[in-house]
Structure 1
Amino acid sequence: MTRAIIIGAPRSGSGKTSVTIGILRALARRGIKVRGAKSGPDYIDPGFHTAATGLSGVNLDSWAMSPDLLNALAGNATEDADFIFLESAMGLFDGIPAGQGRTGSAADLARLYHLPVLLVLDVSGQSTTAAAVAKGFATYDSDVRMAGIVLNRLGSERHRKLCSEAIEALGLPVVGAILRDPTLNLPERHLGLVQAGEYADLMTHLDRLADMVEKSLDLDAIMALAAPFSPSPGSFENALQPPGQRIALAEDAAFTFLYPHVAAHWRQAGAEIVPFSPLADEAPAQDCDVCWLPGGYPELHAGRLAAATNFRAGMARFAETKPIHGECGGFMVLGEALEDAAGETHAMLGLLGHSTSFAKRKMNLGYREARLRAACPLGPQGALIRGHEFHYAQMIATGNDEPLADLADGQGNPLGASGYRRGLVSGTFFHAIARSA
């Protein structure tokens, strides 16, 4: 029987990602089959979970995924894991106003699967006040049970004693206490953590986090807090279906944001993913049925992409007879031009008519539901697709292509037309997660 626990916190930046990765790596080093999961639309942390454990990470998103799809993904995750540690996005209860159990918060998953919570508290700048925070979490929702507390960023042994005694007086066990150590922080950039695949010495850093966890947390107590995890039978009916039998997938430092569950389902459904690297000036294999440019960081590599003549010619040739779709960064590359952070403009593929700028930055963030105006690799005309936007780039020229979809936010408020399509080419800033249900 697989056991699971949610790792939550009052807010982003509390240290729950480092704690999660450290626990995953420490248990994997013990030979325990352990898997990481992430609530909400985060495509970076699952890469660290995978590296730490050797088992692929998974997103479980209660807003974007139907209950049947959630159950199917959760059920798959239990098949070869003894333990699952489900890391919360943002604060534990943070989501959007939506139907019961569909807010996108990790608390939805705690209620749905009756999973206990290991609460990570950043206690820098406070001592016994941490007990008030812990009590608030313990009593806020009777269906979400706080099973244990990890104190993070402690300044001293005295600091630990003050916090621990106040919290344990409430009946909440403190199962970990981590001293402040900035060297353990994972580097960040504008969309979150620097990705796992970009570390030259990734395993060294993961092992340092595991060493910290072994020293600072009671891992045996934490494993004992985990609860049996046996999701109800589910269905992949609302998963994103493979857009073709052979899918040419851009995959390198500029194109990295493809959800693990999307690629896993494509393969499970019988599709073959054929990766290629635009940064290595590779073109999509011409015997593929469709080409997919995922999001990533093209703004950091715009000059190399502009100079990749074989990639550019191969994409133009592919677009003549077969569909191409780009998401977020991929959408930017499909356009006419991309202005980087330094204000230098680089020619992109020109398969769509828009241009984007990273010099004029403005954060766009939130859940989205898209109704497709025409068939494309995301689905048939009229299909409703749920996902999210998270980007800083801005549109500086719109071009004259047809809109791809009508967009609404997570609460159904119309946001207008989104993305573009021209011939067999389509793209949007919107990241697709699942079909709406």
Structure 2
Amino acid sequence: MTGLVIAAPRSGSGKTMVSLGLMRAFTRAGLRVQPFKTGPDYIDTAFHAAACGQMAFNLDGWAMGGDILDAIAGRAGDVDLAIAEGAMGLFDGAAAPGETGRGATADIAAHLGWPVLLVMDVSGQSQSAAAVAYGLRSFRPDVHVVGVILNKVASERHERLIRGAMEHAGIAVLGAIPRLPDVRLPERHLGLMQAAEHPDLDHWLDRFADVVTAHVDLPAVRALARPGRQKAAPPLRCTPPGQRIALAQDVAFSFTYAHLLEGWRAAGAEILPFSPLADEAPAQDADIVWLPGGYPELHAGRIAAASRFLTGLRDHAMRKPIHGECGGYMTLGAALVDAGGEVHRMAGLLGLVSSHAERRLHLGYRTARLHAPVGAIPGSTVLRGHEFRYARIVEQPDEPLADVIDAEGRAVSASGSRRGHVTGTFFHLVATGGAPA
């Protein structure tokens, strides 16, 4: 598992641009690169996959047990290089008494034994950047910061000042990228625009690779990668919610974790994709319909008019289970109010009414103990997941699906709901049962 973690002192430092540039540059050079994303982010992985031509996986130290992490990371054994893009700042994670951050990028680096390369936005500072890098390198002895890439360098003099301070601190500088305001991917309220929606993704990935190739010592970066702490782990298997799973997949329902799909297949399940936006009904012989999260609020009019899709859902709900996550949950509800205040009728299989007209962020890890089954996942099972939504609950009249708490053990009012064979949650499932690494 020869790998490297790309991290930063904080969000917004340029990790994604540099990570995508490195992935694409090494892939163009003929290397087989396996991409990873630390934490529960479900958008960046699609960009990683496009950059490398390899399916990208999440590594989450809060929700996943050590065996799952090792099984996922073990995919790097058949490639030339693994690159894991970190989330937020290197040590940022869920709050826990006496800990620096459970689920932080640092936890993944420590667990797998991969060295860390920092991306530092040095705008507005010079020698102080070396003090920040020195502090990050010294903060935890089991996390090995092996160098930095400077980003948003203003001038040659600016670069000289920082390089001199880094050399004095004994920190290797692997590259210096100038200020390039035109080199960024478009964003929306949940982060990056989805890869499938980007009008010219390959152009931008090649642009990132060109920037990194011009300003970063790629041979030196590759030389920093190290084999991880190889651990024997069982094959990745995740408890599937059914034998035949009809999975909604299009730009409105795209937030699926690759490790779950692979783990369901490894456990013997069959995935049957369909597109609600194309007005496709789920397979009639499916054991369960699974509606993942995404952006249904941006396509609410089309979904409300998708008669074959909605009729197929209602027919299935009379006989067999349906489960929705976040956007999928809202689609199963009675109505969805978009950002402009327009009300769209949804499937009506649950009483949920959700609204994007008054945005309020709900964010964080979730642990849930089910009151009732979710397909073939038994009631009382513990689910570990992550919630990221701006939608507000207007009505939720159905029975709660689970007791839900956040990472600090506080009760969360968004308990999900159930009616007949239909269930839904606002959090996205990451792992079933077990303790985190």
Aligned twin of 1:32? 31
1:78 equivalenced with 2:76 (yes/no): yes
1:369 equivalenced with 2:367 (yes/no): yes
Query: Contact 1:63/1:102 (CA < 8 Å) preserved in 2?
Result: no
Give the secondary-structure state (helix, strand or coil) at the position aligned to 1:414. Answer: coil
For residue 434 of structure 1, the aligned residue among 423, 431, 436 is 431
2:149 and 2:305 map into 1 onto residues whose CA distance is 49
Give the secondary-structure state (helix, strand or coil) at the position aligned to 1:248. Answer: strand
- Using the TM superposition, give the Cα deviation of residue 51 of structure 1 relative to its aligned residue in structure 2, in angstroms: 0.6
Give the secondary-structure state (helix, strand or coil) at the position aligned to 2:69. Answer: helix
1:412 equivalenced with 2:409 (yes/no): yes
The letter for the 1-side match of 2:433 is: S
For residue 385 of structure 1, the aligned residue among 383, 386, 397 is 383
Give the secondary-structure state (helix, strand or coil) at the position aligned to 1:176. Answer: strand
Q: Deviations over 1:112-159 (max 9, x none)?
A: 222211011000111111111111112112221210110001112221
For residue 282 of structure 1, the aligned residue among 264, 280, 283 is 280
Aligned twin of 2:128? 129
Query: Contact 1:64/1:436 (CA < 8 Å) preserved in 2?
Result: no
Aligned twin of 1:228? 227
**Residues 174-253 of structure 1 aligned to structure 2 (within 5 Å):** 174-235=173-234, 240-253=238-251
- Using the TM superposition, give the Cα deviation of residue 101 of structure 1 relative to its aligned residue in structure 2, in angstroms: 9.5
Aligned twin of 1:340? 338
Query: Contact 1:101/1:112 (CA < 8 Å) preserved in 2?
Result: no
Give the secondary-structure state (helix, strand or coil) at the position aligned to 2:185. Answer: coil
- Using the TM superposition, give the Cα deviation of residue 79 of structure 1 relative to its aligned residue in structure 2, in angstroms: 3.4
Aligned twin of 1:53? 52
2:48 and 2:337 map into 1 onto residues whose CA distance is 33
2:356 and 2:235 map into 1 onto residues whose CA distance is 37
Stretches (4+) displaced over 6 A:
99-102
Listed as ranges, the gaps of 5+ residues in structure 1 are none
Query: Contact 2:149/2:176 (CA < 8 Å) preserved in 1?
Result: yes
The letter for the 1-side match of 2:401 is: L
1:230 and 1:32 map into 2 onto residues whose CA distance is 22
2:134 and 2:359 map into 1 onto residues whose CA distance is 40
Aligned twin of 1:423? 420
Change (3 A) 1:102 1:379: farther
**Residues 152-163 of structure 1 aligned to structure 2 (within 5 Å):** 152-163=151-162
2:372 and 2:64 map into 1 onto residues whose CA distance is 22
- Using the TM superposition, give the Cα deviation of residue 414 of structure 1 relative to its aligned residue in structure 2, in angstroms: 2.4
1:395 equivalenced with 2:393 (yes/no): yes
The letter for the 1-side match of 2:378 is: P
Give the secondary-structure state (helix, strand or coil) at the position aligned to 2:277. Answer: helix
Q: Deviations over 1:179-199 (max 9, x none)?
A: 111211111111111111111
The letter for the 1-side match of 2:113 is: H
Q: Deviations over 1:181-237 (max 9, x none)?
A: 121111111111111111121111101101111101101000111111243122368
- Using the TM superposition, give the Cα deviation of residue 100 of structure 1 relative to its aligned residue in structure 2, in angstroms: 6.9
**Quick check: 161-170 or 20-29, which moved more?**
161-170
1:277 and 1:78 map into 2 onto residues whose CA distance is 31
- Using the TM superposition, give the Cα deviation of residue 111 of structure 1 relative to its aligned residue in structure 2, in angstroms: 1.7
Query: Contact 2:2/2:77 (CA < 8 Å) preserved in 1?
Result: no
Aligned twin of 1:66? 65
Change (3 A) 1:378 1:162: farther
- Using the TM superposition, give the Cα deviation of residue 242 of structure 1 relative to its aligned residue in structure 2, in angstroms: 1.5
Change (3 A) 1:95 1:102: closer
Identity value in percent: 55
The letter for the 2-side match of 1:299 is: E
**Residues 308-327 of structure 1 aligned to structure 2 (within 5 Å):** 308-327=306-325
TM-score between both structures, scaled by the size of structure 1: 0.96
Aligned twin of 2:329? 331
1:94 equivalenced with 2:92 (yes/no): yes
Listed as ranges, the gaps of 5+ residues in structure 2 are none
1:102 and 1:271 map into 2 onto residues whose CA distance is 35
Query: Contact 1:336/1:354 (CA < 8 Å) preserved in 2?
Result: yes
1:422 and 1:341 map into 2 onto residues whose CA distance is 27
Give the secondary-structure state (helix, strand or coil) at the position aligned to 2:234. Answer: coil
Give the secondary-structure state (helix, strand or coil) at the position aligned to 1:84. Answer: strand
**Residues 132-143 of structure 1 aligned to structure 2 (within 5 Å):** 132-143=131-142
Query: Contact 1:151/1:178 (CA < 8 Å) preserved in 2?
Result: yes
1:272 and 1:100 map into 2 onto residues whose CA distance is 40
2:248 and 2:41 map into 1 onto residues whose CA distance is 19
Query: Contact 1:406/1:417 (CA < 8 Å) preserved in 2?
Result: no
1:4 and 1:79 map into 2 onto residues whose CA distance is 10
State how many pairs are aligned. 433
RMSD: 1.5
